Amino acid sequence: PCRRCRGRERPMSIVSNRLVRGQLLHFLADPGMGDDPAAWQFFDDGGLWIRDGRIQAAGPWAALTAALPPGVGESATVHDYRGHLVLPGFVDCHLHYPQAGVIASYGRQLLDWLNDYVFPAEARFADASEAERSAAFVVDRLLAHGTTTASVFATVHPHSVDAFFAAAEARGLRMLCGKVLMDRNCPPDLRDTAAGGMADSLRLIERWHGRGRLRYSLTPRFAPTSSPEQLRLCGELLASQPGLHLQTHLAENPCELDWVRQLFPTRGSYLDVYQHYGLAGPRSLHAHCIHLDAAERRSLAAGGAAAAFCPGSNLFLGSGFFNLDASREAGLRVGLATDIGAGTGFSLLRALAQAYEVGQALGAPLPALRGFYLATLGGAQALYLDDCIGSFQPGREADFIALDWAATPELAWRMERTTTLAERLFALMMLGDERCVVATHVMGEAAFVR
């Protein structure tokens, strides 16, 4: 906990002022494979000034505090994280909250795993209390892992979206969620209809989209479980409301690709199915994107869509290796994701270690600075939310975390033998997990304290 206030906070004055002191790191752009020094800022003795939940200034502590208006320094609540790494909150670009209860279900591959474990788990969400208990559990676990924003699949049941958004709203979180659209090739108790799915989505949009920090994301599960009519209506709804988001899955598994070819014989490719129905533009987020060629990556990027890189899930289900470097070279927006429940944990630090190993398999090991960019600003850019979150630029919402460099004996031992920031960050991403999370702040306030 914060040394100065020990978790206690001073009563809110009319304007709430906070100062955060620690080793500050944030990104202005992707540092790439070469640690571009113009892409990031690090302040070894750094400070954040937060006013009413938003970043007012970030910089070296001495300069920041010297430039404060009269009275601010004296009246501010100080969060002293000296010795810890202070980062913008992690952004998890793709997860299924109803699948938290089937994490670590013996795999085989995507389609068997969906039938054997995922669909039965999602069917249990017909019970609204199961949805409410799961939503509270997942949101609290996200905070404990340092994740402050996520793009989240619910189930086909509209009340599963209500449960998730209510849990996020109660904790003041910026979150995206949507009701799964799925009108074929799934169990009857999880099936909607093209018209019914749209009517449910519209009601949820009216209830939740733009309420506080929440945004609605239209959620066709993936091409095989939606009829052409459902995809067509979904594209129409997406185009009709500026600001709506869309999330789905694309090119995850070779059997899935064959299936899409059979189901949509007149379309040129899996990607072409989504493009045809207007489901691959700005604010559309496609999980996996493993089995795409160079022209498809360029085409996805040119349309303004984004990819969610889910290395843990891709290893767990044996889906393949996402080519991060080729995707970024093609100009594609990429965020990092756990893809719970095919991913086996909520930690984006663990996801970074998995991303590094996937990169190794492709001959392009992920550098640490690019990794921490992906987990913060990269995710915000993939979600088109970088004007709100993902960095410490003035005006951004003050969601941030403090990480302990030496949370385990192995980390402490290794850190004593590092000499550069890049080395320390790399050791943190390879050896770290939720044990490193000292505190998670939402709009300036401590929402989780270790």
Residues at the interface with Zn ion (CB under 5 A): 287, 339
Q: Segment near ligand GUN (CB under 6 A), from 9-17, 110-118, 233-241, 365-373?
A: 110-118
| Spatial separation of the C-alpha atoms in residues 447 and 450, rounded to whole Å | 10
Amino acid at site 438? V
Minimum distance from CB of 122 to ligand GUN (Å)? 8
| 342 lies in the site for ligand GUN, by CB under 6 A | yes
Per DSSP, 259 falls in state H
Among 49, 222, 274, 356, binds ligand GUN (CB under 6 A): 222
**Binding string, residues 270-299; x marks residues near ligand GUN by CB under 6 A:** ------------------------------
DSSP state at residue 187: -
Q: Read out DSSP for 92-123?
A: EEEEEGGGGGGTT---S-HHHHIIIIIHHHHH
Q: Does 246 bind ligand GUN (CB under 6 A)?
A: no
Nearer to ligand GUN, 163 or 190 (CB): 190
383 vs 282: CA distance, rounded Å: 9
Apex CA 91: angle with CA 234 and CA 101, to 5°? 75
Q: By CB under 6 A, is residue 118 in contact with ligand GUN?
A: yes
Residue showing tokens 């001073």: 10
C-alpha–C-alpha distance, residues 138 and 101, integer Å = 10
Q: Using CB under 6 A, which residues numbered 149 to 178 contact ligand GUN?
A: none
> Taking the complex as a whole, how short is the minimal distance between the CB of residue 342 and Zn ion, in angstroms?
6
Angle at CA of residue 154, ends 149 and 156, nearest 5°? 160
Strands 245-250 and 284-288: parallel
C-beta closer to Zn ion: residue 287 or 401: 287
Under rule CB under 6 A, which residues in 310-339 are in contact with ligand GUN? 313, 339
Q: Is 90 in the site for ligand GUN (CB under 6 A)?
A: no
Number of neighbours of residue 159 by Cβ within 10 angstroms? 18
- Find the shortest distance in angstroms from Cβ 340 to ligand GUN: 9
Of residues 308 and 429, the one with the C-beta less far from Zn ion: 308
Report 179-208 residues binding ligand GUN (CB under 6 A).
Answer: none
Closest CA to 385 of 234, 230, 174: 174
Which one among 30, 162, 252, 433 touches ligand GUN, defined by CB under 6 A? 252
- Identify which of residues 114 and 231 has a Cβ nearer to ligand GUN in the complex: 114
Beta-sheet strands, E only, within 143-292: 147-153, 175-178, 180-181, 214-220, 245-250, 284-288
Taking the least distance from each CB to ligand GUN, the nearer of 246 and 369 is: 246
Total residues in contact with ligand GUN, by rule CB under 6 A: 11
97 forms part of the interface with ligand GUN (CB under 6 A) = no
Summarize as ranges the residues that interact with ligand GUN (CB under 6 A).
96, 110, 114, 118, 221-222, 249, 252, 313, 339, 342
